[in-house]
């Protein structure tokens, strides 16, 4: 895949989470991506740990898509 065409190239997952959390808050994020790390005692670090797990690629994809939607609206 050509990285020039990837809008997420060079953007860290942590930066994505910080932007989404500051815009939506964890409570609202949990409505878009219903995972425990957004619902119960949410932190950026617990969310990163969950989303980096290869078993949870579906959740990471949803988070990345939500971030791209937010960028489009800006």
Domain count, the chain: 1
Mean pLDDT, all residues of the chain: 92
Q: Residue 63 maps to which CATH number?
A: 1.10.720.30
**The predicted structure's pLDDT at residue 2:** 59
Average pLDDT over residues 57-70: 96
Q: How far is residue 48's CA from residue 26's CA, in Å, rounded to a whole number? A: 13
Q: How do residues 16-33 score in pLDDT, each as one tens digit? A: 999 999 999 999 999 999
Range of the domain at 34: 13-73
Q: How far is residue 62's CA from residue 70's CA, in Å, rounded to a whole number? A: 12
Would the pLDDT of 5 be above 70?
yes
Q: Is residue 63 situated within a structural domain?
A: yes
């Amino acid at each position: 895949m050509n990285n020039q065409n990837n809008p997420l190239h060079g953007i860290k997952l942590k930066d994505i989470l910080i932007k989404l959390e500051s815009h939506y808050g964890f409570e609202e994020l949990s409505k878009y991506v219903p995972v425990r790390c957004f619902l119960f005692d949410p932190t950026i670090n617990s969310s990163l740990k969950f989303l980096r797990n290869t078993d949870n690629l579906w959740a990471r994809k949803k988070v990345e898509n939500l971030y791209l939607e937010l960028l489009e609206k800006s």
